[in-house]
Amino acid sequence: MKLGTNIILFLFSISLFAQKSTEGIINDADTNEPIPYVNIGIVKKDKGTVSTEEGKFEFEIPSGFMNDTIKLSSIGYQPKSMVVKDFLAILKANPIITLLPEITELNEVVVTNKKLKEKVVGNKSKSKKMKAQFSYAVAGNEVGIKVKIKDSPTFIDKFHVNIVSNTSEKVKFRINFYNIKDGLPNEKIFKENIIFSINVKEGDFTLDLEKYGIVVEEDFYTTIELLENQKKEEEVFFSAGLLGNTTAYRYTSQGEWVKLSAVGIGFNYTVKY
């Protein structure tokens, strides 16, 4: 993610190691059907990607990471981890990697008879001078904010952000919700993929989430994840502002989260509690 007007306030680091290109397909172990949008990456390193809608993936792995751990994870499937050199050996023998379906409990249905209050929480910036964008067009690039709730349960109705400019109207994104550990995003708390595109060139964008029945009972992180590599000419800039709710980002899938307290990306939510 980049922030700033004409000045980039921070950038992700780029590895200078020699690279080994790797590619493959991720399938469901039971049906042999491709699994779309799987997060694949070297744990706590800035190397990874997201599988395409057809389950295909391709990215480069620095030669210095051969003894690190690579992890594959997707909502609805058991995660798979292994040493990078073993992962490459498996792919060399067979380019298809399989994940086992995970039996998960349905999201709890919360029923209440109290009259709910409505509130907008998060960062409400509509600045055109301070803005943020995804960097380097890497699938899995993710950025979001910490949201504090006033009461439990809290129902998430809508996501809002002000778009400074947008030429990536066909690019797909995923919205994620995480619980918090050590002040950073930890595990996903909503077990359903919410995929969308941003069809607003400039101005307010709203994503209706009411039909998903998202309920939180404590403070959480919410992020937007880039699912497709953007072309250089395709960019989306979000409004941002100083201070506000804490922003966290990671360069790509399974990478290490970084917290940025001084700048808040302009994500906010309509909630009921």
Same-domain check for residues 178 and 44: no
Residue pointed to by tokens 């979000």? 238
Q: How confident is the model at residue 14 (pLDDT cuts 50, 70, 90)?
A: very low
pLDDT tier at 5, thresholds 50, 70, 90: very low
What is the average pLDDT value for the chain, to the nearest integer? 88
Beta bridge partners of 205: 161
Q: What is the mean pLDDT of residues 103-120?
A: 73
Whether the predicted pLDDT of 146 surpasses 60: yes
Question: When comparing pLDDT for 150 and 88, which is higher?
Answer: 88
CATH of the domain at 131: 2.60.120
**173 token code pair:** 């994104």
| Domain shared by 115 and 250, yes or no | yes
Residue 100 DSSP class: -
Q: Is residue 115 domain-shared with residue 75, that is, in the same domain?
A: no
Q: What's the confidence (pLDDT) of residue 110?
A: 61
**CATH number of the domain encompassing residue 81:** 2.60.40.1120
The answer to whether residue 232 sits within a structural domain is yes
Query: Is residue 37 left, alpha or beta, with left meaning phi > 0 and alpha meaning psi from -120 to 50?
Result: left
Residue 2, pLDDT > 70, answer no
Using a pLDDT cut of 90, give the percent of the chain over it.
Answer: 73
Q: What percent of the chain clears pLDDT 70, i.e. is strictly above it?
A: 87
What pLDDT is stored for residue 18 in this prediction?
57
Which domain-ending residue is among 66, 99, 132? 99
Looking at the structure, tell me whether residues 123 and 69 fall in a common domain: no
Q: Residue 240's beta-bridge partner residues?
A: 265
- The pTM score is 0.88
User: Which range of residues forms the domain containing residue 222?
Assistant: 109-272
Among residues 99, 131, 148, which one ends one of the domains? Answer: 99
Q: CA end-to-end span of the chain, whole Å?
A: 32
- Mark whether 121 and 200 lie in a shared domain: yes
Q: What pLDDT, on the 0 to 100 scale, is given for residue 11?
A: 37
Task: Give pLDDT, residue 237.
Answer: 92
pLDDT exceeds cutoff 90 at 195 = yes
77, β-bridge pairs: 101
- β-bridge pairing 19-28 and 96-99: parallel
Q: Which of 23-27, 115-119, 231-235 is most confident?
A: 23-27
Question: Once rounded to an integer, what is the mean pLDDT over residues 81-90?
Answer: 97
Is the Cβ–Cβ distance between 190 and 107 less than 8 Å? yes
Same domain, 51 and 179: no
State mean pLDDT over 185-211.
96
Structure tokens at 6: 């004409």
- For position 112, what pLDDT does the model report? 64
pLDDT tens digits along 165-178: 998 888 999 999 99
The H or E element that residue 111 is part of is: none
Q: Report pLDDT for 155.
A: 96
Question: How much is the pLDDT for 132?
Answer: 86
pLDDT at position 12 is 38
Confidence at 186, pLDDT banded by 50, 70, 90 = very high
Average pLDDT over residues 187-192: 93
* pLDDT beyond 70 at 7: no
> Which long-range contacts link 192-200 to residues 24+ away (Cβ below 8 Å)?
192/75, 192/107, 193/37, 193/75, 195/37, 195/227, 196/172, 197/169, 197/170, 197/171, 197/172, 197/173, 198/163, 198/166, 198/168, 198/169, 198/171, 198/173, 198/236, 199/169, 200/163, 200/166
